[in-house]
Amino acid sequence: VSGQAKKLTIGLIPADGIGKEVIPGARQVLEALPNIGVDSPSFNFINLDAGFEYFQKNGTALPEKTLEIMKNECDGALFGAVSSPSHKVAGYSSPIVAMRKHLDLYANVRPVVSVASEKDFSQKNVDILIIRENTECLYVKQERQTTDESTGLKVAWAERKISEYASRRCGKMAFEMALGRDKFRQNIPLEKRFWKGKPKVTIVHKSNVLSITDGLWRETVRVVKENDHKYDSVDMEEQLVDSMVYRLFREPHYFDVVVAPNMYGDIISDGAAALVGSLGVVPSANVGDKFVMGEPVHGSAPDIAGQNKANPIAAIRSAGLLLEHMGFHQQALHIYNAVDEVLRRGEYLTPDLGGRATTQQVVDAVIKLVQ
């Protein structure tokens, strides 16, 4: 209905450790958003259980109810962090993996963006979106061990799965997001844009070695563009993962959208996060065709949990990313700008960025700029 604010229902799953501190901060920022334009959403939040701590009390890491409510009542969700026990715990499996599966969140999307900061945490001019396929590759975990007959020594094997189905939909997401980012950038004055050219998708692979699996990945993603004129305005290129990484560190401003199979994507996206500062500032989103779940890249950080010094920025940006992927571009940009300004001023920074502010002080500083 035009002119009427849309009400979005967001599931909040703080889960473990600092997730319990940063997710409430992100919620406060969403609640503080003023009306921007006619389609400004209002929010309804539902707190949901999951995590290792929940498992220890209740014997399950992901109650059925959490999934049901997410599927039936929520427009999107924001996840905190889950502790991973260092040793195998009987009956425990990661709730985030299960949620991705049940909600069909088949790609993990990670923007890596420079901040123009006086304190300079980052290299300049980086604005990359990394899309990591999230359902297959070596993560199918088909491992086995045999014995080499001639030497009597152990041999370990891992099977890797690449399907045309998963590669195609991930490729499609990459081209769609390249167009979406291009549109999103129209909201930003040209002199402030880090990426000024045509949208570009870089396909990462290693098909010179893995010609069947990576060959299928590469070919399938290529064909997505070749078969659809909709993507004519998007440039496409390929890079072998090793040279891509070299380039990522030397010329990070060279990349726009990067799409990679699960394992390469995992490694590249952590490496790229190092280009722009602390783990505490990097957001991500788990994306499917029907649902989006924002999630800070960092874990539960048991070493600092409960001390009110976790950096809430990754979680706040994840809330922005959630809005961006739900189509609320102006609202998302409003959050990103407020966060950038807090970082640029450097007045309220948590210890991971060399400051002395508490989690809540950073949240309050962002809110002040958002309102």
* Chain contacts with ligand ATP (rule: CB under 6 A): 18, 81, 83-84, 279-280, 298-304, 310-311, 314, 350, 352
Residue pair 283/296 in contact (Cβ under 8 Å)? The answer is yes
Partner from Mg ion, ligand ATP, none binding residue 81, C-beta < 5-8 Å depending on class: ligand ATP
| Of 63, 288, 299, 351, the one binding Mg ion by CB under 5 A | 299
- Subset of residues 103 to 122 that bind Mg ion, contact rule: CB under 5 A: none
Smallest separation (angstroms) from ligand ATP to the CB of 17: 6
Smaller CB separation from ligand ATP, 166 or 349: 349
Smaller CB separation from Mg ion, 288 or 299: 299
- Residue 113: Cβ within 10 Å count: 20
Q: How far apart are CA 25 and CA 286, in angstroms?
A: 20
- Specify which residues 286 forms β-bridges with: 108, 293
Residue pair 166/131 in contact (Cβ under 8 Å)? The answer is no
Question: Percent helix, strand, coil in the chain (nearest 5)?
Answer: 40, 20, 35
Q: How far apart are CA 358 and CA 371, in angstroms?
A: 20
Smallest separation (angstroms) from ligand ATP to the CB of 331: 23
346 is a site residue for Mg ion (CB under 5 A): no
Smallest separation (angstroms) from ligand ATP to the CB of 182: 30
Partner from ligand ATP, Mg ion, none binding residue 260, C-beta < 5-8 Å depending on class: none
Q: Is 55 helix (H, G, I), strand (E, B) or coil?
A: helix
Smallest separation (angstroms) from ligand ATP to the CB of 85: 8
Smaller CB separation from ligand ATP, 18 or 357: 18
Q: How far apart are CA 220 and CA 165, in angstroms?
A: 9
Partner from Mg ion, ligand ATP, none binding residue 108, C-beta < 5-8 Å depending on class: none
Smaller CB separation from ligand ATP, 207 or 350: 350
Query: Between vectors from CA 296 to CA 17 and to CA 44, what angle results, nearest 5°?
Result: 90
Partner from Mg ion, ligand ATP, none binding residue 210, C-beta < 5-8 Å depending on class: none
Strands 76-81 and 292-294: parallel
Q: How far apart are CA 265 and CA 258, in angstroms?
A: 9
Partner from Mg ion, ligand ATP, none binding residue 279, C-beta < 5-8 Å depending on class: ligand ATP
Q: Segment near Mg ion (CB under 5 A), from 15-23, 155-163, 238-246, 291-299?
A: 291-299
Specify the amino acid at residue 281.
V
Smallest separation (angstroms) from Mg ion to the CB of 60: 22
Smaller CB separation from ligand ATP, 261 or 277: 277
Please tell me the total number of residues recorded for the chain in this structure.
371
Smaller CB separation from Mg ion, 271 or 299: 299
> Could you give the C-alpha distances from 211 to 174, 215, 240, 339, 351, in angstroms and in order?
22, 5, 12, 43, 46
DSSP 42: E
Smallest separation (angstroms) from Mg ion to the CB of 81: 8
Chain positions contacting Mg ion, by CB under 5 A: 299
